[in-house]
Structure 1
Amino acid sequence: MVQVGEKLIEVKGLKKYFKTKKGLLHAVDDVNFFINKGETLGLVGESGCGKSTTGRLIIRLLEATSGEVIYKGKNVLDFNKGKMKEFRKNAQIVFQDPYSCLNPRLSVSELISEPLYVNKAYKNKIQLSNRIEELMDIVGLSSRLINAYPHELDGGRRQRVGIARALALNPEFIVQDEPVSALDVCIQAQILNLMHNLQKELGLTYLFIAHNLSVVKHVSDRIAVMYLGKIVELTDYKTIFKDPLHPYTQALLSAIPIPKVDMKRERIILEGDVPSPVNPPEGCRFSGRCRHCKDICKSQTPGLNEIEPGHYVACHFARNLG
């Protein structure tokens, strides 16, 4: 792939297979992309396509079957325990459910201070207390909530606690795993604006995982579309909305409602079901639902090729579908 800027994270041939009674489940299958320092890469697709698994593999909450995750020139998957502890100071995650990821027995101050305790970041209690208050202020949490418990907070405030925890050790890379999908629409906007402001102020780099293309459009510099464990299209956010080349991306975009009464978009209805990730079919995994499918699609797996500068598509006929 063409290097647009300084690469912070580069994923090469990443795979994750799970053993099941029916065979191997191909959750992530030969995924390749990079994330430039200071940018947001949006990762979108249907539920179960492998988005969250990819995010967890990058920071090794799950161990990969094979592949590489290059961070500043070194393969994270080869790190020993000591190097992983250092890496996790620089790479954090914000989870989807802001309630289940917080220990209900700990107060806000205890939740935020936990990573600081684990890494022995502060020996002085006054410094630790000041850092907790600073983090609460950064994410917009009132100081009166410092002794509150998760069940006393609404979803937006819980997610702010999760973001404060992720920021505690001054990371430079954060995996945002559907951070607003469990929140009300008005609260979603608040959290998205917060993350955008934090990125500008702190120079953060994001992998933003979501299934809502409208949300991803407003927060991402580039967008990768995932289908059944594989990246099928990757380019900048403007191009993917104006000139999508993969039939799956085109179908996803056609489902986005237009907020104008007198305007309609041609809806592309996908027929058939998503194939099983357990022993997936040969060739293109989207072939069974694709209206442009040819014989070659069922026998040969298309690579993720650069059709135009910075625009990568995994389709045998991408140049003819634009």
Structure 2
Amino acid sequence: MTTDNKPYIRVENLKKYFSTKRGMLHAVDDVSFDIEKGETLGLVGESGCGKSTLGRCLIRLLDSTAGKVLLQDGEGGGYTDVTKVSASTMKELRKRVQIVFQDPYSCLNPRLSVWELIAEPLIVNRVYRSRAEMRKRIRELMSTVGLAERLENSYPHELDGGRRQRIGIARSLALNPEFIVLDEPVSALDVCIQAQILNLLNELQREFHYTYVFISHNLSVVKHVSDRIAVMYLGQVVELASADEVFANPLHPYTRALLSAIPTPDPDFVTERIILRGEISSPIDPKPGCRFAGRCVDATPACSEADVPLREVAPGHLCACALC
């Protein structure tokens, strides 16, 4: 991670709303954070909290409703707002930003071989003029992600989940990106294969200095790969700090509840499980106030009166709780 004062990515008041019959669903609501060059930011929360939607908005697979996603330009030090650029400019930016999807099978065309799948982004962007150059690059990518050369004529249905995910990673690396959104890249894999993919991602980051946003609901996995962790609840970031700090000193009651649910391999080590009760707030046209107040045992009437901003309560530790 760099020590440069200017972050590589700046997210400012990002919002993504969806129109429903009952009103506007606030999937991502006024989210702001920075990401340093070469850093891994873990994004965690329960299903439906908006973390995957946020990841897609960062690279403009989804158009945001409001806010900015500022991507640092080369050596000039300026920023490009990904949410505002034209289609032609975005096509060029896509060489710098990529995504690895959760399901390694549904994101691959079953009619294409491994060679054709990895070649697709190179062909679309007209990177190589000769087939020999492209074949060399494809074999380099296969070697980088640990795919044997003998598999280049295989099809996705002939491979296991780990190899399919390696294809997805190779496709995301084809254009030499700088920033990669990893949307639950190991959740569909068994534990042994998960470890292989996580180690591969760590090795690639060390070698090529990639910047990651790692989205997951598995806190143990996120701790293993992340420099910092952002905890989301109903479209908002409620806590943001270094991975060690989040696990050692969780401040938001929702974060504490998530951590208490992590299973431990030692049967003699017993942790007090925090059971969340109460009604979950609706993300459709939400009322002012803390969205976790209905499930928080420490909530006061003031928690439901006004929105609680994400603020720095200790050096590098941000929390959106009126009790912090």
TM-score normalised per structure 1: 0.97
Is structure 2 residue 158 aligned with structure 1 residue 159?
A: no
Over the aligned positions, Cα root-mean-square deviation in angstroms equals 1.0
Match for residue 31 of structure 1? 31
Contact 1:196 1:219 in 2 (8 A): yes
Match of 2:113 among 67, 88, 107: 107
List runs of 5+ in structure 1 lacking aligned partners.
none
The separation in 1 between residues aligned to 2:276 and 2:49, in whole angstroms, is: 16
Instruction: Report 1:50-129 matches (<5 A).
Output: 50-72=50-72, 73-129=79-135
Matching of residue 180 in structure 1 with residue 195 in structure 2: no
Query: What is the distance in 2 between the residues matched to 1:168 and 1:118?
Result: 11
**How much does 1:84 deviate?**
0.5
2:151 to 122, 145, 159: 145
Aligned length: 316
SS in structure 1 at match of 2:95: helix
| Structure 2 Cα separation of the partners of residues 5 and 208 of structure 1 | 23
Give 3-state SS (helix, strand or coil) of 1:27's partner: strand
Query: Match of 1:47?
Result: 47
Amino acid at match of 2:245: T
Paired position in structure 1 for 2:232: 226
Q: 1:266 aligns with which of 268, 272, 277?
A: 272
| C-alpha contact (below 8 Å) 1:6/1:37 kept by paired residues | no
Contact persistence 1:5–1:37 (CA under 8 A): no
Amino acid at match of 1:279: D
- Take 1:152 and 1:236, find their aligned partners in 2: how far apart are those partners? 40
Q: Secondary structure at the match of 1:84?
A: helix
SS in 2 for 1:89: coil
Give the CA deviation at 1:4.
7.0
Match of 2:301 in 1: 295
Aligned identity (percent) is 63
SS in 2 for 1:179: coil
Match of 1:278 among 270, 279, 284: 284
Spell out, residue by residue over 1:103-157, the C-alpha distance to the aligned partner (whole angstroms, 9 max, x if none): 0011000000000001100001100000000000000000010000110010000
- Aligned residue number for residue 307 of structure 1: 313
- Matched residues in 2 for 1:274 and 1:110: separation? 46
TM-score (norm 2): 0.96
- TM-superposed CA distance for 1:261, in Å, is 1.7
* Counterpart-to-counterpart distance in 1, 2:66 and 2:134: 40
Q: 1:224 touches 1:234 (CA, 8 Å); kept in 2?
A: yes
Give CA-to-partner distance per residue, 1:27-71, whole Å, 9 cap, x none. Answer: 000001111000100000000000000000011000000000000
Q: Distance in 2 between matches of 1:144 and 1:130?
A: 14
Deviation at 1:5, TM superposition (A): 4.8
Write the distance in 1 (CA, Å) between the matches of 2:17 and 2:263: 35
In structure 1, what is the Cα distance between the partners aligned to 2:288 and 2:13?
18
Give distance in 1, aligned partners of 2:114 and 2:227.
33
Q: Name the SS for the 2:24 alignment partner.
A: strand
* 1:254 partner amino acid: S
Distance 1:190 1:4 in 2: 32
